[in-house]
Structure 1
């Protein structure tokens, strides 16, 4: 899955009225939790929407929802949209309700907080979510207006210690290792998954000035894409050193399967996928992962938020604050291997050791979604086979 891109919902309010009839979860959506779905559970209930994978559905229905009700007595009605396939429809529905000063039927967004924040649809949590003070200013600086980061992930360098004595610690060291160990490294094609996409972005970023990189992260600037030429040449030069001289696996799992089989010794991998995969056997038990530097691989926080149109903002802020408590942060880390949003020092030692080399405080944003789309297209033209 191509994760955690901070996409502004441009013009959503202007077009919202025409989509005001878009109610409910839409086709293919699923719901769970106590009295799930309708949002008519009374004054002590809250409607939470999530558009994500089934692991997030399980996190909420099996861990967070029952835990929150036990702690507070508040019922959560959970609206779940597999892979967020109806997310645009839901956001337009919320924007229409906000514009018309009506109840949107949703109080809290588990995901899409970045898009809702960029569109001005979230209530200000300042002074209402005390545990926001536990989140580093560096992480808070990456989120959209009024959004609350509650978990995160990043792409890491996964490797087999039995085959890699001294793992590379920087991008330059990694590139040198790949050339010195032909056939032992792979990354998936960037259009098939975020791990390979991050590797390509990171190599391109090596040759960009800070100003150009910042512009590519925050907006669409097609006129700047010529700055990628040097990075694409470097990637093309790596072809002969890749697994089977230029084979690019399909999807994030593709490279991890090669690692599991011992056909490669190193690959980029999502932190949550790597850590949970090691527990399930998809990733070798003895595999390790670390975050490189200068620059690091990309990553980001999952941003939630309380809707400004909600009539139950107080309950929404209570949920957000509860989610940022150490017990819940540890539960999230254990359930889905999500980076904690609060300091690692606040969490149990077993969680700290699991993330020891992941550097969860370092969440370098990727390219703007339109820039990223152009990059994937150009990679196909300029890298494989060259």
Structure 2
């Protein structure tokens, strides 16, 4: 009986002791796990120059002090590939009431903000905690919409790119450009508006130049009734556009028109300033290619960061937002994609700076027309795209 009691006490002691060791082991494992950086996923879309810039940002963030707490990953959707757009994915997930997804942070222009809200509701994005983004105090750029939700990280605009060896005196106004196109048939191209923002800006500018300036930042359906003059202009220009095989061709994607300029098949195109500068800097474009701004100019935008409400790591997203406003990140964006800085650029220098110096930032035009942008592109497909068939 005594031996049985001793065995019981010994077994109980061993069990308790083992439990303590196990608990300690679990605690240590938990501490080890919690010390690992938590994942933050940044979703972006656009052209290859944007992808390159974001890849460099990811590398720099993960090497920074914030990288010890958060690990940044990039998911990129290349424009014009026919895959579901980022906005469609976010809105669909929101409407499906998905929670804790990996849509932690996204790139979105201030021009796209109203479309997101229109489709996904006012709560599609989280408001950021300003105290978590102290570098906001350095921002000098204004956004057209989304105050308290959107954090600007770069500016950009569409410009007129031309081969100066062939075009000695480029147009300076929209009217002069349209006349130049008619006078030089086959020497101008713009991409389909749904496949890239440069072509989209050309189309939108041609249409909205006939409308009051307020229409540029309105999603009111009433403006659709005033699109007719602009579409008539685009139809009138159709026969003077770039041709291949005896037929008018509207290239696919921003890169499509840029390739035509590189190959000398056209003399002039609308192009994103940052994309153009990146190609000039790496030698892809001949140094005879120049850029100029029209009056009134093509539309551009301020590119921003936003936190979808369906994400799972708001704190990590805010850390990335704050990093994007550092001198280091702004320098990376200037070097890799000729992004126009949103902070004081006097301390930033780059080979790309020489191209940016002639851009008049105060003359940039922004547009935020919500879902009207999609409807406008669809109407272009029906009214202009079909003229080539």
The interval holding the TM-score normalised by the smaller chain is: 0.7 to 0.9
Deviates more, 1:155-164 or 1:360-369: 360-369
Q: How does 1:339-358 map to 2 (within 5 A)?
A: 339-348=340-349, 350-358=351-359
Alignment of 1:96-245 (within 5 A): 104=100, 108-112=104-108, 114=113, 115=116, 118-119=122-123, 121-136=125-140, 139-143=142-146, 145-211=148-214, 213-214=215-216, 217-221=217-221, 223-244=222-243
Q: Does 1:82 align with 2:76?
A: yes
Deviation at residue 91 of structure 1 after TM alignment = 6.1
In the alignment, which residue of structure 2 is the partner of 1:19?
none
Judged with a 3 Å threshold, the aligned counterparts in structure 2 of structure 1 residues 91 and 183 are, in CA distance, closer, same or farther, namely: closer
* Partner residue, 1:272: 274
Separation of aligned partners in 2, 1:130 and 1:255: 40
Which residue in the other structure is 2:304 paired with?
Answer: 303
In structure 2, distance between residues paired with 1:325 and 1:45? 21
Which one scores higher on RCO, CA 8 angstroms, separation ≥ 6?
Answer: 2
Query: Number of aligned pairs?
Result: 337
Greater mean alpha carbon deviation, residues 225-234 or residues 86-95: 86-95
Kindly state the Cα deviation for residue 259 of structure 1 after the two structures are TM-superposed: 1.1
Inter-partner Cα distance in structure 1 for 2:200 and 2:240: 18
For the residues of structure 1 that align with 2:382 and 2:89, how far apart are their CA atoms?
A: 34
Offset of 1:322 from its aligned partner?
2.5
**Which residue does 1:333 correspond to in 2?**
334
Aligned partners of 2:279, 2:160: CA distance in 1, in Å? 14
C-alpha deviation, 1:160, in angstroms: 0.9
Shift of 1:165: 1.7
| CA shift in 2, pair 1:95/1:331, >3 Å | farther
List gaps (5 residues or longer) in structure 2: 1-32, 79-83
The structure with the largest helix share of the pair is 2
Query: How far apart, CA to CA, are the structure 2 residues paired with 1:72 and 1:372?
Result: 37
- Shift of the alpha carbon at 1:63? 4.2
Question: Cα 1:253–1:122, aligned 2, differ >3 Å: closer, same or farther?
Answer: same
Indicate whether 1:48 and 2:41 are aligned.
Answer: yes
Structure 1 unpaired stretches of 5+: 1-39
1:283/1:343 CA distance change after superposition, 3 Å: same
Q: TM-score, normalised by structure 1?
A: 0.72
Q: 1: distance between equivalents of 2:67 and 2:237?
A: 57
Q: Partners in 1 of 2:247 and 2:359 — Cα distance?
A: 28
CA 1:93–1:175 in structure 2 vs 1: closer, same or farther (change >3 Å)? closer
Contact 2:39 2:70 in 1 (8 A): yes
Q: Distance in 2 between matches of 1:225 and 1:282?
A: 39
Larger radius of gyration: 2
Q: CA deviation at 1:41?
A: 5.8
Secondary structure of the 1:198 match is: helix
**Maintained 8 Å contact 1:170/1:292:** yes
1:156 and 1:290 in contact (8 A); partners too: yes
* Paired residues of 1:156 and 1:291 also in contact (CA < 8 A): yes
Of 243, 246, 255, which residue of structure 2 is paired with 1:253?
A: 255
What's the secondary structure of 1:299's corresponding residue?
A: strand
Q: 1: CA distance between counterparts of 2:361 and 2:34?
A: 37
Change (3 A) 1:316 1:243: closer
Task: Decide whether the 8 Å contact of 1:256 with 1:269 is kept in 2.
Answer: yes
Q: Distance in 1 between matches of 2:49 and 2:145?
A: 24
Structure 2 SS opposite 1:167? coil
Return the offset for 1:90. 5.3
Q: How far, CA to CA, are the matches of 1:243 and 1:310 in structure 2?
A: 44
